[in-house]
Amino acid sequence: MTAHRRTARALTLGAATTAATSAYLAPALPYAALATLYVTAVLAWFARSYYRAHHRTLAEEAWEEAYVLGEQPAPLNPCCALADHSEGEAHGRRCTNLFHRFTSDLANEPWSST
């Protein structure tokens, strides 16, 4: 179990608890019920993003294990989190595209001009 999954489970539990609270408050305090429904939606959204990070971590670990064993696994899509956030312009050290993995190490050197 990764830290992402543990956090996602806690957020899911929080979302379920606030949803139950909203159902309890709905007849007597409808505005409070709307507020707790908003909190439920936010917690569920965060839980979804943490579950996605958990699955990405597992996929990266499986890719790295296959690479270490001598296989030539295809890069994941997107190849790394940094490429996903920079629209492919930058790549991190954990990039699953080998060309970008090696060139990102060169670009991070202090004497590099890139």
pLDDT tens digits, 16-26: 999 999 999 99
The candidate with the shortest Cα–Cα distance to 53, out of 111, 104, 107, 6, is 6
| Residue that finishes a domain, picked among 36, 54, 71 | 71
Residues 22 and 43 in one domain: yes
- Cα 80 to its chain centre, rounded Å, is 11
Residues 55 and 90 in one domain: no
Domain of residue 52 covers 1-71
How many domains is the chain partitioned into structurally?
2
Question: What is the rounded average pLDDT of the residues 27-54?
Answer: 97
| pTM for the full predicted model | 0.78
Averaged pLDDT of the chain: 87
Residues 81 and 63 in one domain: no
Residues 8 and 58 in one domain: yes
